[in-house]
Chain A
Amino acid sequence: MPKEIMYGDAIAAAIIEEMQRDPNVIFYGQNMAMTERDPMLKKFGKERVRIAPISETAEIGIGIGAAMTGLRPVVELWMSEFMLVAFDQVINEAPRLRYMSGGQVNVPVVLKAGYGFCAGWAGQHSNCIYHTMMGIPGLKVVVPSTPADAKGLMAAAIRDDNPVVYLHPYMLTLDKGEVPEGEYVVPIGLSDIKRAGSDVTIVAIGWMVKKALAAAERLAEEGISTEVVDPRTLAPLDITTIVNSVKKTGRVVLVDQAPRHSSAAAVIAGEIAEHAVGSVGALRMVTALDTPIPYSEPLENYVVPNEDKIIEAVKSVMAHEAVAA
């Protein structure tokens, strides 16, 4: 039976269920399980639920080493930018060790972090850095946009035998949605059509899916039928679903909270250019402007994509003839 729960609780539910299912799953991070009142600690004990010091290199590196030798660690990193102080472990260790060993060793570690916290956290805590990780062979990157996907993709990430970077948009933490109770796994590498439509395709990521769906609602009132595709996984990227949608509608708007040249949208635009050339009448990218994220609210709002910017982009591509598939 599906139940309405919050996005943040859906992630926790998946971790708890996977820890119940598999004794090799462990969970640790900074500022967690500090007292005996911690519900995870109560349930699983202090061997499997641990507090870590502010040591990202060791936290992630230990997760990798534990994964190489038989555990399935979930490392709570809180904010994706904190991974930057340990990027060798994320980019140059976890995804390379299996390959360099000729397939002898697996690294089933989950690196969990929030991203894109646009609530006045200024330049160093509000960014979208998935672009830097989605092009690293050996690494998987998931970005769930609904509570159900948050649960299903966490379960899939923990069960996956590869290193998975699990990025959740902080702005969705309190959003409620229907989430299946009990075992629920969303396959990694599969896009989801969040809204079907015929005039234009919007490909949106993470928090931007919510904004795209709100924009689609308003556009429908004006008679524009929008299809919203959520890749859900950025690596490996499900190009087929995106290309099929674009070929159907003939127009596409890519919405990404990251700045233009470090966005997943730029990568997707390249794939569309190669695989749907001749089928696309127009393509627009709605991304963050090329600035660090500013502190003050009007500045922040100005830089980050919003519904109005998406609607403007959709209308601009509607001005072009769709090319018949």
Chain B
Amino acid sequence: MPQKTAKRPAPRSSKISNHQLRWIYTQMVRIREFEEAVKRTFIEHPGVIRGHSHLGDGAEASIVGALSTRRDRDFVMPSYRCHGYPIVLGTPLRNMMAEVFGRKDGLCHGFGGSMHLADPSRYFPGTSGIIGQSIAHATGAALTAQIKNSGQIVYCFFGDGASKQGAFFESLNMAAVWKLPIIYVLENNQYQAYTHFSLEDANAAAGDALSKKAEAFSIPGATVDGTDPLAVHKVVAKAADRARAGKGPSLVETKFYRLSAHGNVITVPPLPTQFPEHEAVAVYGNRKEFEQWKSKDPIKRFRARLIKDRVLTVASATKIESAARAEVDDAVQFALASPLPAPEEALQYVYA
């Protein structure tokens, strides 16, 4: 089946058109379907996905809300929890899934896997699997944009855990001094791997929002409901305006809840691996917290809102969902049929 292109209407900072609202919902659903399919693969096709995969379910409103303010040539530089972003950029799901499966037709020909998707042709240059380090790379992309005077800005995404890394502090300091055109989107999904953010963050421990860190660099900081794509859109649009005007970086904390565990269980072959229960349940025994956040599922809420506001009908929403499911099913079939790389291909790509 043909790949769904992610053409979206030109962003306007003031008003979001119905067309754009449907685009936002469509991208959110496509991300969710992709992540659900990755998760199912561990059960339906054990052994096909190796290593460690990290899912963005729960982050859809943050990802799409932020990127709904993006212009065509802006860079997008997330962390290793990276599936959602290229989906919004229009990267073919077939090649994405084939990469997660380690196949020849993968986006990176099977050299990167789930943590290291890259599609530079769509301004998604690559990711790092080491927490926080890509914040510096994203800052470097902003330096390129500034020096080339290209009008591009950078959307840099990272988790709450990464905001405790030296790379975070060093990068934000330099970006502020150099007035680099970048938006730092701190996706607070509340758990750094297995540790709740309240146990490791100084601002949280003092009862403050994590965006307070912006004050240390004298740049704007804001915290927004990361389960609401329109709230995210509004705040990020302001940060984008600032970046485009040459006024420098902003820090936006999008607060939401990761709906899956940090990653699949770390096992040693030949033991099979799959996604465990969320840390709230598995580590802290707090099913109530998990169920509460699940009831605030950003996709369900946005769907209900669009239907209430008559932007979508039940039928048109169902059509979007069926199309996304079909697109992802096709990607899985494509990836399963794609050959594994030949062993000696391992010697490619070491040097340019």
A residues near B, CB below 8 A? 26, 47-48, 50, 52-53, 55, 57-71, 73, 88-89, 92-93, 97-106, 108, 137-138, 140, 160-162, 236
Q: Does B130 contact A (CB under 8 A)?
A: yes
Chain B residues with Cβ below 8 Å from A105 are 118, 120, 125-126
Alpha-carbon distance between A66 and B180 when the two chains are bound, in angstroms: 12
Chain B residues with Cβ below 8 Å from A89 are 133, 136
Beta-carbon contact of A53 and B173 below 8 Å:
yes
Question: B108-116, B254-262, B294-302, B317-325: which lies at the A interface?
Answer: B108-116
Beta-carbon contact of B174 and A62 below 8 Å:
yes
Q: Does B143 contact A (CB under 8 A)?
A: yes
Of A55, A71, A104, A140, which contacts B108 at CB under 8 A?
A104
Chain B residues with Cβ below 8 Å from A138 are 350-351
Beta-carbon contact of B351 and A52 below 8 Å:
no
Beta-carbon contact of B170 and A58 below 8 Å:
yes
Question: Nearest chain-B residue to A71 (Cβ)?
Answer: B144
Q: Does B210 contact A (CB under 8 A)?
A: no
A96 shortest CB reach to chain B, Å:
8
Chain A residues with Cβ below 8 Å from B352 are 98, 103, 106, 108, 160-162
Chain B residues with Cβ below 8 Å from A48 are 147
Q: Does B107 contact A (CB under 8 A)?
A: yes
Beta-carbon contact of A61 and B140 below 8 Å:
yes
Chain A residues with Cβ below 8 Å from B229 are none
Q: Does B191 contact A (CB under 8 A)?
A: no
Alpha-carbon distance between A48 and B351 when the two chains are bound, in angstroms: 26
Alpha-carbon distance between A47 and B178 when the two chains are bound, in angstroms: 9
Beta-carbon contact of B133 and A70 below 8 Å:
no
Interface digits, B142-176 against A, CB 8 Å rule (1 contact, 0 not)? Answer: 11111110000000000000000011001101100
A81 shortest CB reach to chain B, Å:
17
Question: Nearest chain-A residue to B125 (Cβ)?
Answer: A68
Of B112, B130, B171, which contacts A58 at CB under 8 A?
B171
Alpha-carbon distance between A97 and B109 when the two chains are bound, in angstroms: 14
Of A63, A101, A140, which contacts B126 at CB under 8 A?
A101
Interface digits, B302-344 against A, CB 8 Å rule (1 contact, 0 not)? Answer: 0000000000000000000000000000000000000000000
Q: Does B348 contact A (CB under 8 A)?
A: yes
B81 shortest CB reach to chain A, Å:
15
Beta-carbon contact of A69 and B144 below 8 Å:
yes
Beta-carbon contact of B111 and A62 below 8 Å:
no
What are some 5 contacts across the A-B interface (CB < 8 A)? A55-B170, A58-B174, A64-B137, A102-B109, A236-B351
Of A67, A92, A108, which contacts B140 at CB under 8 A?
A67
Chain B residues with Cβ below 8 Å from A62 are 136-137, 139-140, 143, 171, 174
Of B112, B133, B173, which contacts A88 at CB under 8 A?
B133
B232 shortest CB reach to chain A, Å:
24
Chain B residues with Cβ below 8 Å from A53 are 170, 173-174, 177
Beta-carbon contact of B130 and A92 below 8 Å:
yes
Question: Nearest chain-A residue to B128 (Cβ)?
Answer: A93
Q: Does B106 contact A (CB under 8 A)?
A: yes
Alpha-carbon distance between A70 and B140 when the two chains are bound, in angstroms: 10
Question: Nearest chain-B residue to A51 (Cβ)?
Answer: B177
A26 shortest CB reach to chain B, Å:
6
B148 shortest CB reach to chain A, Å:
7
Alpha-carbon distance between A140 and B136 when the two chains are bound, in angstroms: 21
Provided the pairs A65-B141, A68-B141, A105-B125 are in contact, do residues A47 and B147 lie with their beta carbons within 8 angstroms? yes
A150 shortest CB reach to chain B, Å:
23
Alpha-carbon distance between A101 and B223 when the two chains are bound, in angstroms: 33
Alpha-carbon distance between A69 and B137 when the two chains are bound, in angstroms: 10
Alpha-carbon distance between A73 and B144 when the two chains are bound, in angstroms: 10
A291 shortest CB reach to chain B, Å:
30
Alpha-carbon distance between A65 and B167 when the two chains are bound, in angstroms: 13
Question: Nearest chain-A residue to B148 (Cβ)?
Answer: A70
Beta-carbon contact of B130 and A93 below 8 Å:
yes
Question: Nearest chain-B residue to A54 (Cβ)?
Answer: B170
Beta-carbon contact of A68 and B167 below 8 Å:
no
Q: Does B186 contact A (CB under 8 A)?
A: no
Task: With a 10 A CB-CB cut-off, give which of A53, A58, A108 has the most chain B CB atoms.
Answer: A58
Q: Does B138 contact A (CB under 8 A)?
A: yes
Task: With a 10 A CB-CB cut-off, give which of B116, B125, B148, B348 has the most chain A CB atoms.
Answer: B125
Alpha-carbon distance between A68 and B75 when the two chains are bound, in angstroms: 11
Chain B residues with Cβ below 8 Å from A93 are 128, 130, 133, 137
Interface digits, B94-128 against A, CB 8 Å rule (1 contact, 0 not)? Answer: 00000000000011111110001011110001101
B169 shortest CB reach to chain A, Å:
8
Question: Nearest chain-B residue to A50 (Cβ)?
Answer: B178
Task: With a 10 A CB-CB cut-off, give which of B75, B77, B130, B141 has the most chain A CB atoms.
Answer: B141
Question: Nearest chain-A residue to B111 (Cβ)?
Answer: A102
Alpha-carbon distance between A13 and B47 when the two chains are bound, in angstroms: 55
The 8 closest A-B pairs by CB, nearest first: A65-B140, A61-B136, A58-B170, A102-B108, A65-B137, A161-B352, A55-B170, A103-B349
